[in-house]
Homo-oligomer: A and B are copies of this chain.
Amino acid sequence: MMSLDALREDVCRANRRLPSEGLVSLTWGNVSARSDDGSLFAIKPSGVPYDDLSPGEVVVLDLEGAIVAGDLRPSTDTATHLELYRAFPRIGAVVHAHSTYGTAFAQARVPIDCLGTTHADHFAGPITVTRPLSPDEVGDGYEVHTGRVIVEHIQQAGLDPLHVPAVLVAGHAPFVWGTSASAAVDNAVALEASAHMALITRLLTGGDPPLLESWILAAHHERKHGESAYYGQEEA
């Protein structure tokens, strides 16, 4: 079982990957991850540059949002992460990043359709867009309502959150998740690449790109995530 120190180190490392993978400028993103027993989660402190971030600055909270460890104020987006952990017990980590192409799809309120196997390896279908928050939701707890709009979107569409581990919040940016901090950042990288490729594919086809054949989508996703997955090395 992962100790709290190991969890903070893991979350620190995952946050530092955001700029090195080209997903953020300035401090436009944050990663959190949950403890093995699911009762706590660790998140980036607000406004701290990634390069300066150390594991001891990572903030640990319980699922009521109370700070358990850490001296700094947690990310302003903490309440959004918290809503996702509460609603979906199998989510192990959450990434929020204003990555260029994913954010532009969120601004355009256009879903990222599954046009190829790069997308299918990480997302078993289109990455869809939530409704925008209402004035009341914005006025009364903006971040908590951002989380609730995401949860509502996934539940109303009857989606399995680990089947398509991301959503675009209208006018805002992507939220991405996974079973671990490292898997969630991988998914954020895949979302950004899929969005970039989807834009180009649209430009090449007059805005009407062909969807990936359903049987290829299913097979590609299964070879990485299915019961008989055969990508990568056996876990020790």
Interface residues of A (CB under 8 A from B): 21, 25-26, 28, 45-48, 72-73, 76, 98, 100-101, 103-110, 115-118, 132-133, 135, 138-139, 142, 171-173, 186, 189-190, 193, 196-207, 209-210, 212-213, 215-216, 219-220, 223, 230-234
13 new A-B contacts at CB < 8 Å, known A26-B186, A98-B117 = A73-B234, A76-B230, A100-B193, A101-B200, A104-B201, A108-B201, A110-B204, A118-B173, A132-B213, A138-B216, A142-B223, A171-B212, A203-B203
Number of copies of this chain in the oligomer? 4
Partner of A233, one of B72, B118, B203, B207: B72
Given A98-B118, A171-B216, A197-B100; A231-B107 close (CB under 8 Å): no
Partner of A45, one of B197, B213, B215, B233: B233
Is the beta-carbon distance between A100 and B200 smaller than 8 angstroms? yes
Q: How far is the CB of A151 from chain B (nearest CB, A)?
A: 19
Partner of A116, one of B26, B106, B135, B233: B106
